[in-house]
Amino acid sequence: MRPERFVVPLVYIPPLLKSLTNGQEIVEVSGKNVREVIQAVEAIYPGFAARICDGDDLRSGLAVTVGTKLATNGLREVVDTDSEVHFLPAISGG
């Protein structure tokens, strides 16, 4: 559980994308949904959105979680102020 002092979502940057955030693993930004969170990270670290999004969707091979749940609504998934947002490589099995 996060300390109450946090009032904006925390975005966890996957290792393969940390070069886009100057090595930052966690970025604090505001946003009411995943799209707004990505746009907020993009405002700080230009080029981030192009690596995460393909038009109006997440790039193929990427998944996003908000809190402990897979974001089934993609970029429209609601993000609360105390949420943790994780971008993960999608894993498929057989």
- Predicted confidence at residue 7, as pLDDT, reads 72
- Predicted confidence at residue 89, as pLDDT, reads 81
- Predicted confidence at residue 5, as pLDDT, reads 56
Tallying the residues shown for the chain, one arrives at 94
The SS3 call for residue 44 is: helix
Compute the radius of gyration of the chain from its Cα atoms. 13
- Mean pLDDT value across residues 4-28: 88
Q: Which domains does the chain have, with CATH numbers?
A: 10-89 (3.10.20.30)
Strands 26-28 and 53-54: unpaired
pTM listed for this prediction: 0.87
